Structure 1
Amino acid sequence: MSAIYEEPGDAGVVNEPVKVLIALHEGMDAMDVVGPLEVFSWAMHQPKKPETKAFRVIFAAEGEEVTSAQGATFNAHMSFAEAMKRLAEIDVLVIPGGGTEAILKSKGQPLPLIKQFAETQKKQPHRERTLMSVCTGSMFLAECGVLAGLSATTHPDYVTKLEILCSNVAMRDMADRCDVTEQRYVVNNLRFDLGEDEESNPYIMSRKEYKEHKRRKSSAGGPPSPIEERSNGARPSGGRKGSMSWKASNNRRESVLKRSTLRLGGLRVLTTGGVTAGIDGALYMVGALVSDDAADEVARVMCHKWVKGMVVDGTDV
């Protein structure tokens, strides 16, 4: 899966858009869905060239239709059951807020979807995945234990409720607390800038280190790791143009081994504030997975002033 776009005819380039799955539930806030949908739908690698669209958005729900708190009806592309089977294909999972009380009480969807998405990333830390919540959707992430040890935000009116929920979950799971703050959005990036200073960056391997790692792995036998499978020096299909998670370089490799030991396998967790803050969070994702220019162009087309948030535990700014 790749958000990379090159001119037609370039060899070895995958022109497939990033797959975004939005989980729909009864009583959700319509803007929590429509805001990110609008952003991802406009995002292109080259302005005014629809063939360079960077994202494909898919809706999942319990049934064929879902009604929002505002009375709007949304049609799902697939059921939650099918989505659970295909989570490995998804790059970005978006969880809208609204109607949270009933779901927290029943422990129903999208809670199992969130848990499995996080587990999928732990099992496949070489992939770049993002879990994004809008408004009170962060309550679902908290209930699933995903926010343990991270920073998060939500609608200003629900900050105290999120703090209490995170505290209760930390006690239940014997896990770290979540740092709840009021921001437009909060990104627990957990991705790594492959900068020029290799000595100060613990998340990259020099060519010498990579060759030594490969030699030890080969002598020990066993299947090649994801990092070994990229020994031809090509950028993997999971790389992103404009993303800090992978810089095209034949001299360095991101250490999947080191990243796999990090919280949630390097899953990027992004929570946004109330309602329209989902637009800003989605613009951040366009900037991270495509380019800042692409994000600025989307904001221009939408006549929206992009209000930026806070990034922690990472270098993707």
Structure 2
Amino acid sequence: MSAIDDTTDAPADVIQVLFVLYPGFGAQELCGPLEVLSSALQKLKDPDSKAFEATIAAPTPAVTSSSGLTVKADVNFKTAHDDLHYYDILILPGGKGVEKILSTPPSSPSEPIPLLQAYAKLQASDPSKERTLLTIGTGSLVLAHAGLLQGLAATTHPDYYTKLEIACKDAARRGENPLEQTDVMEENYVVNNARFDLGEDLDENPFVLAKKPDSRRKSSARKGSVSLRQSLTRVDSNARRAALKLGGLRLITSGGVTSGIDASLYLVAALASHESAEEVARLLQYSWNKGVTVEGIDV
């Protein structure tokens, strides 16, 4: 059954999230972000005002992680393709199973690469909707293999920085513009194509780092806040969004397990409110570490 059929009673303002799993995915890379998003509320004092609705997509009715956790899928990949326009966020956890995905030739990729590429093409064909693609850990290697990181900035688990650089260079050679490289950064998480407003008081800005950590390459990263509720006070420019890479698709790559939690808290702040993100962090007894925004639409 379609995920749309299963969620017809969900409020219209609930943000729809598709978790894309595969054999050998990382259990913590799934559970951390899922816990964050499922705990977030649009209104802090209203427990019924859930901000996010999650759907699990997998190639089989159930899929097992590298640590032996078996998760029941809500939809298969065919249904996920059919309903792709429905989702506001697509999340790809990393894990040991990534190696099998990367072993397939780029000319004939296996899922979930075609699903990721279709989501990016959907944004490019319809830039009026704000969509997000998030990967955790080695999930960014899949994006590189899919050719979706060219001209953007990205990060991954620290053990895989060099491998990500090589994968991005290989993708550039295969692409239409071999000179269009990827800036691999040693950051907690990296946000491309965000809507943000730096604001007047940077001390109160939830996405500004007080001190930027050393990066793999010197970065001109812009660090800004992205509260959807605040940004909607001004008019967005679809034309400007369409001119960005991937049609303005917000693309976030993160480091290891805890970086995925940090990036998920960023999404709560960006699409619900900063207060909601802080409350989720408090409930989880978690200290939220910020990342960087490298490009965005000033509205």
Is TM > 0.5 for Structure 1 vs Structure 2? yes
Distance 1:244 1:179, change over 3 A: farther
Alignment of 1:7-86 (within 5 A): 15-86=12-83
User: 2:199 & 2:244 partners in 1: Cα distance?
Assistant: 19
User: 1:46 & 1:244 partners in 2: Cα distance?
Assistant: 12
**TM-score relative to the length of structure 1:** 0.77
Give the conservation status (yes or no) of the 8 Å contact 1:189–1:315.
yes
Instruction: Name the counterpart of 1:247.
Output: 232
Give the conservation status (yes or no) of the 8 Å contact 2:189–2:291.
yes
Q: Shift of residue 48 of structure 1?
A: 4.8
Per-residue Cα deviation, 1:126-154 (whole angstroms, up to 9, x for no partner): 00000000000001111111110111000
Give the conservation status (yes or no) of the 8 Å contact 1:191–1:244.
no
Q: Shift of residue 242 of structure 1?
A: 3.3
User: 1:72 & 1:192 partners in 2: Cα distance?
Assistant: 37
- Which runs of 5 or more residues in structure 2 are unaligned? 1-10, 201-225
Give the conservation status (yes or no) of the 8 Å contact 2:229–2:273.
no
Percent identity reads 46
Q: Shift of residue 115 of structure 1?
A: 0.1
User: 2:51 & 2:295 partners in 1: Cα distance?
Assistant: 26
Question: Which of these residues, 138, 147, 150, is aligned with residue 136 of structure 1?
Answer: 138
Give the conservation status (yes or no) of the 8 Å contact 2:188–2:255.
yes
User: 2:22 & 2:166 partners in 1: Cα distance?
Assistant: 23
Matched, 1:281 2:281: no
Matched, 1:306 2:291: no
User: 1:268 & 1:164 partners in 2: Cα distance?
Assistant: 23
Instruction: Name the counterpart of 2:221.
Output: none
- Which runs of 5 or more residues in structure 1 are unaligned? 1-13, 197-240
Q: Shift of residue 91 of structure 1?
A: 0.3
User: 1:154 & 1:113 partners in 2: Cα distance?
Assistant: 20
User: 1:45 & 1:82 partners in 2: Cα distance?
Assistant: 28
Distance 1:70 1:48, change over 3 A: farther
Instruction: Name the counterpart of 1:179.
Output: 183
Matched, 1:127 2:124: no
Instruction: Name the counterpart of 2:278.
Output: 296
Give the conservation status (yes or no) of the 8 Å contact 2:229–2:272.
no
Matched, 1:188 2:173: no
**TM-score relative to the length of structure 2:** 0.81
Instruction: Name the counterpart of 2:101.
Output: 103
Q: Shift of residue 259 of structure 1?
A: 2.0
Per-residue Cα deviation, 1:229-282 (whole angstroms, up to 9, x for no partner): xxxxxxxxxxxx931784235xxx322123212211110000000122110000
Q: Shift of residue 291 of structure 1?
A: 0.7
Give the conservation status (yes or no) of the 8 Å contact 2:144–2:167.
yes
User: 1:280 & 1:27 partners in 2: Cα distance?
Assistant: 23
Q: Shift of residue 314 of structure 1?
A: 2.1
Per-residue Cα deviation, 1:33-62 (whole angstroms, up to 9, x for no partner): 001000001000222522100000100000
What SS does the corresponding residue of 1:293 show, helix, strand or coil? helix
Q: Shift of residue 183 of structure 1?
A: 1.1
User: 2:194 & 2:287 partners in 1: Cα distance?
Assistant: 27
User: 2:297 & 2:288 partners in 1: Cα distance?
Assistant: 20
What SS does the corresponding residue of 2:133 show, helix, strand or coil? strand
What SS does the corresponding residue of 2:103 show, helix, strand or coil? helix
What SS does the corresponding residue of 1:70 show, helix, strand or coil? coil
User: 1:192 & 1:245 partners in 2: Cα distance?
Assistant: 9
What SS does the corresponding residue of 2:173 show, helix, strand or coil? helix
